[in-house]
A and B are shown apart, each in its own frame.
Chain A
């Protein structure tokens, strides 16, 4: 039971992060290292608006998600778009961007650890296991977000465009789709997702300017495990790794610190059997 709940919550956080990352990779082939940095900025945004300025938590959440999305769009327009043709350059641009955001946060908020209030305080007990309402909320929001994303991708014209772009970039371009604009929109969605994740799980975290590093690695593991560009894969892989972490903590209490490495080993083992991840499509044509 404990394992189930912890696994579900960790898994849903990972899923939200990983889907955003996967989305932008699928459409624009951008490995956005700064993805979790946006998540950090959003969490700090809430801290700033709700605690420093004393705004309502929901309002500050919306503002900071909007703010982060805006940064994402600006970054795409002025940094990524001009160098889109050069894969390596885009890669290290996102790396340095993550470093840059970390330093800005460090200067604005210092390196001290910060916390945000729970949106709903308190906890309830299931089978002797305590769960924060905030965790339940996180889980709920994640499900809603996932549904929304599914709706967006499957039922709207934009979703169709995104999917076709992910399927075959060249043909989609030939069909008259504006690749660059679509990439920008996707990046905005992806960054907004990262922002939402930061906003929802921020209260469960301790904020510090290096908080983007750890989830970044697990998130990448999720994306690779699920298969690059596959939303369904990311979703399932997130829960696999979430449960793995929970299992490690519960079964080997003195080895709880090893939960990250164990999850990574599982990822490598799966990849050995299925090099394109669980649900990945091999991009054979792209050389």
Chain B
């Protein structure tokens, strides 16, 4: 009897050991968590980009780690972050401790990404943020490198560079207006009232007069405004011919639609996140024509040789144009996997040391990680010619086309011959109702 119990016990122990080591001997897989608001376009693109990358890599035999080939397994986590921050953090915790993922990509709303980042750091797992642009996310890496070094920015570049790029766009548009209408440039600044626009608003208010343009006023509607007719009438009265927009929310649709309906004689330029999406034309009932926005991917525009295969692959599979959150693709395919293969291990610390020093091509440009003024890596993305610049694009008769950089001179003083043009650019068009006036 006693022997029997012992036997049973040993069997039980054996079972437990096997159960625990199950992940070990079945470890022909690398688990990557994909976290995002899966009910909206951003999260769907997180997932779409990641599945594309995983399928391509798995079809090619998997990831070579040391001597064995591993398959990638993706785990989808709906963060529900646009509604509930608690939910988002719980989803991250679940990925870390229930699903035991090796890496995480995704995240969108800054208020949710902060707690998610903290949780990933608690478990020392590499988290590549593919959606939030707030500077502070990566500033933390620089100030507390030991804790936050596992966070990398995957996309987009940080929001202080957004302002820089938008000013380039403003200049490009102003040049066209000057040439075609020969009118002095008057800029109306319309920014949704949120903290991320704060820095941009101040910068642009200070910068516009220096560029020889007149700033006729600043309007700050709420990000969810559904009626901006009041603002529009005031803008038209001010005589502005450029409306500089800084929108991430629903107001982007409202504004573009109502401005189009009213035929406000001004060109909209700047950032309008909603207008980056394929659904924008439908959502504005075609009234969003001639809206200019910063973007990451535009059909027909090629930043480098990797752009076209990615865009075509995405289009074939998901019928549309990827938005920037689909850069989970690049994060997995061009960042994580090459690093894992080169290091030959899944160890986070070793990978971080390798990843941060790398320079590599992604479909939207070239990635190089920044250091802060103390020389510590912040894992933030470098902006600039040759690296990531984003694309300026404009809605022209139902199609989003690339219009910038087109003969862009980033530094005319020092490098008068440096002109950058991405493949597939077309000229900027002005709304016809601007010309009549």
Give the B-binding residues of A (Cβ under 8 A).
Answer: 2, 6, 10, 106, 110-115, 117-118, 121-123, 128-132, 135, 204-206, 208, 210-211, 214, 246, 249-250, 253-257, 259-260
Evaluate whether A256 and B231 lie within 8 angstroms (CB atoms) in the complex, with A113-B279, A123-B262, A128-B237 already known: yes
Q: Is B414 an interface residue (CB 8 A)?
A: no
Contacts of B37 in A (CB 8 A): 111
Can you report 6 residue pairs joining A to B where beta carbons are below 8 Å apart?
A112-B279, A204-B227, A206-B283, A255-B220, A256-B221, A256-B230
For the A-B complex with A113-B250, A115-B282, A128-B233 known, give 6 more contacts whose Cβ atoms are closer than 8 Å.
A112-B279, A123-B262, A130-B236, A214-B224, A249-B221, A254-B218
Evaluate whether A113 and B220 lie within 8 angstroms (CB atoms) in the complex, with A204-B226, A249-B231 already known: no
Please measure, in the bound complex, the distance between the C-alpha atom of A204 and the C-alpha atom of B254, giving whole angstroms.
8
Contacts of B223 in A (CB 8 A): 257
Please measure, in the bound complex, the distance between the C-alpha atom of A214 and the C-alpha atom of B254, giving whole angstroms.
15
- CB contact list, B30-45 vs A, under 8 A: 37, 39-41
CB atoms of B253 and A113 under 8 A apart: yes
Contacts of B39 in A (CB 8 A): 106, 110-111
Q: Is B217 an interface residue (CB 8 A)?
A: yes
Q: Is B219 an interface residue (CB 8 A)?
A: yes
CB atoms of A249 and B283 under 8 A apart: no
Contacts of B221 in A (CB 8 A): 249, 256-257
Closest 6 CB pairs of A and B: A257-B193, A257-B222, A111-B40, A249-B230, A256-B221, A253-B219
Partner of A205, one of B226, B233, B285: B226
Evaluate whether A132 and B261 lie within 8 angstroms (CB atoms) in the complex, with A10-B227, A115-B282 already known: yes
Contacts of B250 in A (CB 8 A): 113, 206, 208
Contacts of A113 in B (CB 8 A): 250, 253, 274, 279, 283
- CB contact list, B192-239 vs A, under 8 A: 192-193, 217-227, 229-234, 236-237
Contacts of A115 in B (CB 8 A): 253, 257, 282-285
**Which range holds the interface residue count of chain B?**
35 or more
Contacts of A259 in B (CB 8 A): 222
Contacts of B219 in A (CB 8 A): 253-254, 256
Q: Chain A nearest CB: distance from B343 CB in Å?
A: 39
CB atoms of B232 and A206 under 8 A apart: no
CB atoms of A253 and B261 under 8 A apart: no
Please measure, in the bound complex, the distance between the C-alpha atom of A114 and the C-alpha atom of B281, giving whole angstroms.
10
Contacts of A111 in B (CB 8 A): 37, 39-41, 82
Contacts of A131 in B (CB 8 A): 229
Q: Chain B nearest CB: distance from A229 CB in Å?
A: 28
CB atoms of B234 and A253 under 8 A apart: yes
Contacts of A10 in B (CB 8 A): 227
Partner of B220, one of A130, A204, A246, A254: A254
CB atoms of A114 and B233 under 8 A apart: no
Nearest-CB residue, chain B, relative to A132 = B261
Q: Chain B nearest CB: distance from A247 CB in Å?
A: 10
Nearest-CB residue, chain B, relative to A254 = B220
Please measure, in the bound complex, the distance between the C-alpha atom of A249 and the C-alpha atom of B231, giving whole angstroms.
7
Q: Chain A nearest CB: distance from B199 CB in Å?
A: 15
Nearest-CB residue, chain B, relative to A252 = B220
Partner of B41, one of A112, A122, A132, A249: A112
Contacts of B262 in A (CB 8 A): 123, 130
Please measure, in the bound complex, the distance between the C-alpha atom of A115 and the C-alpha atom of B250, giving whole angstroms.
11
Evaluate whether A253 and B218 lie within 8 angstroms (CB atoms) in the complex, with A113-B250, A123-B261, A130-B236 already known: yes
Contacts of A122 in B (CB 8 A): 261
Contacts of A110 in B (CB 8 A): 39-41
Please measure, in the bound complex, the distance between the C-alpha atom of A211 and the C-alpha atom of B249, giving whole angstroms.
13
CB atoms of A2 and B233 under 8 A apart: yes
Q: Chain A nearest CB: distance from B300 CB in Å?
A: 23
CB atoms of B282 and A256 under 8 A apart: no
CB atoms of B41 and A253 under 8 A apart: no
